[in-house]
Amino acid sequence: MPSQRIEFPGSQGDTLAGRLDTPDTPPHAWAVFAHCFTCSKDSKAAAHIARALAEAGVGVLRFDFTGLGDSGGDFANTHFSSNVADLVAAADWLRTHHGPPALLIGHSLGGAAVLAAAHRVPDCVAVATLGAPFEPAHVAHQLGDAVHSIEAEGQATVQLGGRPFTVRREFLSDLAGQAQEDRIHNLQRSLMVLHAPLDNVVDVDNARRIFMAARHPKSFISLDGADHLLTRAEDARYAAAVIAAWAQRYLAKAG
């Protein structure tokens, strides 16, 4: 399946790096993938899901949020709302240059972002989340005791995934101001919630709360034996195959 590097302007004016995975024949639909917190477009989950959808005839844009991966900008200046705006910018670019983004997929905090962004992407008919928190503020747990330093001093350097990141007070205040339950209840898109029962980063109860808040049509898939990051290739491939099969029903209607 062809895969090409692309660039587009992000919500803060920085150049964002993306990768476009496409079928060998013209795509019958287009999707955008949002990666997990401090991850990148090249994570195993992102790569496997994009390729599986491409094999099913769907073109996928996966990209790095501002300040992460190959994208420009400073992570310290970002927050959940800027991630959502980056996602909308990616959807706008895809619509302008290739076709309407009918499917939004997000992993972990990226899952929360697609739930928040869907109402700003009018072409979107289906949303899939993997290991997503019910509330974006859940990600603050990953900051540990540094939260106190951030609140007291305005910012702190936090080790996430073995790398240092500067997190500012604005990041925390932005997380606290999200009306996520209302967004999920008023999603008005087909929803698939995928979550690992043994996820030790985002507890599976988050999936239950997302599912209960959403209206039909909605589906839940248990990723048995998987971890939060879908680090085993077979888990990422399974999630990809399920999303690809589920999405066809709704993408066909959109087309």
DSSP string, 85-100: HHHHHHHHHHHHHT--
- Give the mean model confidence (pLDDT) for residues 187-205: 98
Give 147-179 pLDDT, tens digit per residue.
999 999 999 999 988 899 999 999 999 999 899
Report yes or no on 155 lying in a domain: no
Report yes or no on 39 lying in a domain: yes
- Give the mean model confidence (pLDDT) for residues 26-30: 95
Residues 6+ apart with CB under 8 A from 71: 10, 14, 15, 16, 17, 63, 64, 65
Residue 137: other Cβ atoms inside 10 A: 17
Number of domains in the chain: 1
d(CA 54, CA 48): 10
Report yes or no on 148 lying in a domain: no
Domain boundaries, position 44: 3-138+180-254
pTM of this structure: 0.96
Domain CATH number, residue 243: 3.40.50.1820
Residues in the chain: 255
Report yes or no on 200 lying in a domain: yes
